[in-house]
């Protein structure tokens, strides 16, 4: 067989790559998972009784912005990692920066507090349950995000699993903010961070098993 004939044979039936396929999968998975997390939060925990008044405070929206920014960064990262050989790139900046900002804000709050009050500020009212509440609310979003990532072609499976888990937990944390009474960045910087990391670690463990193609 001549080279030209072989090329013609291999090129027969080739269709253009759908460049929007990745976006469509996540546009389907993320809203459904987020809706599931919100519904689960309403069923298990319920909205804050003072949500209407507390929503007037800027610190409440700062609390929402913290996991929301992480969710946006991890969404970009996991979509990039879903492509063979592609790195997360600058998406890591968008993921790490909110953690740093909240840690600095928490340190600032503690610095201005009396030494005897600092531990209680960090512990808040719900430190024992907060990380596990976030883990529970990640349950609807986690499989949705893994489904979206599994349909792609990731090659860094553990890292893709980690970012998928972090995306799920960040979305769950946004939902949890509608219930959580804690209003101090000193609390968020520790217990929200732990809560978001738990599904991320689980995702890193499951990534090589569930995202293999």
What does the pLDDT look like over 178-190, one tens digit per residue? 999 999 999 999 9
Residue 58: pLDDT band (50, 70, 90) is: very high
Say if CB 145 and CB 172 are below 8 A apart: no
Mean pLDDT of 48-73: 94
pLDDT at 195: 97
The pTM is what? 0.87
């Amino acid at each position: 067989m001549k080279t030209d004939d072989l090329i013609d044979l291999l090129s027969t039936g080739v269709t253009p790559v759908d460049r929007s396929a990745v976006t469509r999968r996540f546009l389907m998975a993320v809203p459904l998972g987020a809706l599931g997390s919100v519904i689960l939060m309403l069923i298990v925990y319920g909205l804050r009784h003072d949500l209407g008044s507390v929503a007037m405070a800027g610190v409440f929206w700062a609390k929402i912005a913290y996991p929301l920014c992480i969710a946006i960064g991890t969404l970009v990262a996991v979509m990039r990692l879903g492509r063979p050989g592609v790195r997360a790139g600058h998406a890591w900046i968008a993921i790490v920066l909110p953690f740093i900002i909240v840690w600095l804000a928490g340190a600032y709050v503690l610095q201005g507090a009396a030494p005897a009050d600092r531990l209680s500020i960090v512990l808040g009212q719900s430190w024992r349950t907060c990380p596990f509440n976030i883990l529970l609310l990640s349950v609807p979003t986690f499989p949705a995000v893994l489904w979206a990532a599994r349909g792609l072609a990731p090659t860094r499976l553990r890292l893709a699993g980690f970012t998928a888990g972090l995306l799920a937990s960040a979305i769950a944390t946004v939902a949890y903010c509608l219930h959580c009474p804690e209003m101090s960045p000193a609390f968020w910087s520790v217990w929200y961070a732990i809560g978001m990391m738990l599904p991320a670690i689980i995702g890193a463990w499951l990534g090589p098993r569930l995202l293999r193609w």
